[in-house]
Amino acid sequence: MLDLAMNAPEPRRIAGATGDWEIVIGLEVHAQIATQAKLFSGSSTRFGAEPNANVSYGDAAMPGTLPVLNRGCIAQAVRTGLGLKSRINLTSSFDRKHYFYPDLPSGFQLTQLFQPLVSGGEVLVEMGPGLVRRVRLDRIHVEQDAGKLVHDMDPAMSFVDVNRGGMPLMEIVSRPDIRSPEEAAAYLGKLRLIMRYLGTCDGNMQEGSIRADVNVSVCRPGQYEKWLEDGDFSHLGTRTEIKNVNSLRFVQQAAEYEARRQIAVIEDGGTLIQETRLYDPDRGETRSMRSKETAEDYRYFPDPDLLPLVIEQAWVDGLGAGLAELPDARKARYIADFGLSDYDASVLTAERENGEYFEAVAQGRDGKQAANWVLNELFGRMKRDEGVDITNCPVSPAQLGGIIDLIGAGTISGKIAKDLFEIVYTEGGDPARIVEERGMKQVTDTGAIEAAVDAVIAANPAQVDKAKQNPKLAGWFVGQVMKATGGKASPAAVNEIVAAKLGL
Ligand code: ADP
Ligand code: MG
């Protein structure tokens, strides 16, 4: 586990014309729940289907249809809450939030305003060695997504695609505990990682599986601490909300731009209005979209078609018992059990699949050696190829493990192992068979090695004299012999024989 006695990073300060400013950020993250069917219908959630192929009568709000809650979605949201150390509310309820929008056939979104399924919780965000920001969560509620309008298919008309309508989302609302644009991006990255470990959201940001509303305000140093003390939001500045930001980098850029814009407005004697803005990544700026609506504007009320959602503690406990290992716990385990460095353990847990791959290689082998091969050889090699990652890399854990085993058995030298790795990477195949077929076995036959050493000594009398003065030069002979044997001689045997022949 992360050590909570660790220090929190300093909040970001921006020097303005009238003195220093600090940034305060809170995120509302919409994460699509990993599930086969929509929140209130049996329609498929598959991405990339033909427009309106995944739309049931209920999704299209045909009169007389009724919503039926998908238990699997609730289970996923509960798992997420448990993974984030939240409180699971055994009674929650669904409310209608009204909009007029052509991609929302019913005219309202089903969401949870008054009684969310999940309350509280936290995300620990590591910002550097020994620097951890603890971001508290307000709540996680479950809601449905809207459809989308397609404007670029016809010059005169817009089209409606309701495939996304009714998709299950978790809205994860943080407290305004994030203190710099970098932390905002890191927070979202950590949240994504935790959900990917839990298997509750696929985390695919290109497909819109995670979208963040970034709330930003600025205040003078000391004001945030006052808010922490008494919870009075008037200590903090006016916030704006940047809607639907869909990458970690854009979250950071948008927050940075927005904080600086706000400071400029205030220092110019202007007043900020609480509004919703859009981030334009091409221009690197935010633009006003609409003034902030209040809860009354949405005419929220409890959905009369849905009974309150009551779940049992035993069911929650069962989900908790089956919870996957989380990234912080896994990292701590790698450090403790395999003796890995903090950095190596971080890289191996930075994606869920990294750790799964590594553990498959480490199974029954030396963990540190397995980690070195995965991190240095495999990851180093994958970087040279566009589009190759751990999920589709050409070397399986069994193949990589096979290479390591051949080193361990003394069949090949460490140097030959690298050549073997390249062959397996580019051509595939069973490492042991490749070694056999291509004559890559390490030469441990001392007769053959002695002959090679004799030849090198005979050809280099001047070097021999020098080496007799300075035994460190024996390494040069070892190198020559290795070269002469194509790297196949056992380095240990070569060392020994060179030393003996030179009389060192
Ligand atoms: P709403 O429902 O109107 O969007 P909430 O009170 O639920 O408002 O807050 C939405 C988000 O705004 C939360 O993530 C919260 O942390 C964040 N937030 C609230 N006040 C501030 C502030 N002064 N600066 C930055 N973020 C804030
Ligand atoms: Mg909001």
- How many Å lie between the centroid of ligand 2 and the Cα of residue 308? 23
- Number of C-beta neighbours around residue 57 at 10 A: 12
Secondary structure (DSSP) of 350-380: SSHHHHHHHHHHHTTS-HHHHHHIIIIIIHH
| Interior angle at CA 375, CA 322 and CA 391, nearest 5 | 55
Task: Return the percentage of the chain with pLDDT > 90, whole number.
Answer: 79
- How many Å lie between the centroid of ligand 2 and the Cα of residue 295? 10
- Tell me which of 28, 187, 232, 244 to substitute to probe ligand 1's pocket, judged by most ligand atoms within 8 Å of the beta carbon: 28
Closest C-alpha to ligand 1, atom 20: 176
The residues spanned by each domain of the chain are 13-308, 323-437, 446-502
Ligand number nearest to the C-alpha of 26: 1
Query: Within 149-210, where are the H helices?
Result: 181-198
Per-residue pLDDT, averaged over 158-176, amounts to 97
Please give the torsion angle defined by the CA atoms of residues 73, 79, 85 and 87, in that order, rounded to the nearest 10 degrees: 50
Rounded to whole angstroms, how far apart are CA atoms 370 and 356?
12
How confident is the model over 130-157, as pLDDT tens digits? Answer: 899 999 999 999 999 999 999 999 999 9
| Mean pLDDT score across all residues of the chain | 93
pLDDT score, position 360:
97
Q: Note if the pTM is more than 0.75.
A: yes
Model confidence at 307: pLDDT above 80: yes
Q: Which residues line ion ligand 2, judged by CB < 5 Å?
A: 28
- How many Å lie between the centroid of ligand 1 and the Cα of residue 9? 22
pLDDT score, position 468:
85
Residue 127 makes CB contacts below 8 A (sequence gap 6+) with: 9, 133, 182, 183, 186
How confident is the model over 468-488, as pLDDT tens digits? Answer: 888 888 889 888 888 888 888
pLDDT score, position 4:
52
Please give the torsion angle defined by the CA atoms of residues 489, 490, 495 and 501, in that order, rounded to the nearest 10 degrees: -50
Model confidence at 373: pLDDT above 60: yes
How confident is the model over 234-264, as pLDDT tens digits? Answer: 999 999 999 999 999 999 999 999 999 999 9
- 101, two tokens: 């929008």
- Tell me which of 173, 178, 183, 244 to substitute to probe ligand 1's pocket, judged by most ligand atoms within 8 Å of the beta carbon: 173
Per-residue pLDDT, averaged over 266-285, amounts to 94
pLDDT score, position 5:
57
- Tell me which of 179, 227, 239, 290 to substitute to probe ligand 1's pocket, judged by most ligand atoms within 8 Å of the beta carbon: 239
- How many Å lie between the centroid of ligand 2 and the Cα of residue 91? 23
pLDDT score, position 295:
65
- How many Å lie between the centroid of ligand 2 and the Cα of residue 26? 10
Q: Which residues pair with 91 in a beta bridge?
A: 310
Model confidence at 321: pLDDT above 90: yes
Per-residue pLDDT, averaged over 40-51, amounts to 94
pLDDT score, position 495:
87
Indicate which atom in ligand 1 lies nearest the CA of residue 233.
23
Residues lining ligand 1, Cβ inside 6 A: 24-28, 173-176, 215-217, 233, 236, 239
Ligand number nearest to the C-alpha of 293: 1
Indicate which atom in ligand 1 lies nearest the CA of residue 227.
23
Lowest-pLDDT range, 184-188, 387-391, 402-406? 387-391
Per-residue pLDDT, averaged over 394-418, amounts to 93
Residue 457: φ, ψ to 5°:
-65, -45
Q: What is the CA radius of gyration of the chain?
A: 30
Closest C-alpha to ligand 1, atom 17: 26
- How many Å lie between the centroid of ligand 1 and the Cα of residue 217? 10
Task: Return the percentage of the chain with pLDDT > 70, whole number.
Answer: 98
Query: Which fold does the domain 446-502 belong to in CATH?
Result: Arc Repressor Mutant, subunit A (1.10.10)
Closest C-alpha to ligand 1, atom 24: 217
Model confidence band, residue 1 (pLDDT cutoffs 50, 70, 90): very low
pLDDT score, position 292:
67
- How many Å lie between the centroid of ligand 1 and the Cα of residue 388? 39
Query: Within 68-180, where are the H helices?
Result: 71-83
- How many Å lie between the centroid of ligand 1 and the Cα of residue 175? 7
Model confidence band, residue 450 (pLDDT cutoffs 50, 70, 90): confident
Choose the most confident range, by mean pLDDT, from 178-182, 444-448, 452-456, 458-462.
178-182
Ligand number nearest to the C-alpha of 116: 1
Q: Which of 388, 466, 373, 481 is nearest to 421 (CA)?
A: 373
Model confidence band, residue 324 (pLDDT cutoffs 50, 70, 90): very high
Residue 487 or residue 308, greater confidence: 308
Q: Which residues pair with 216 in a beta bridge?
A: 25, 240
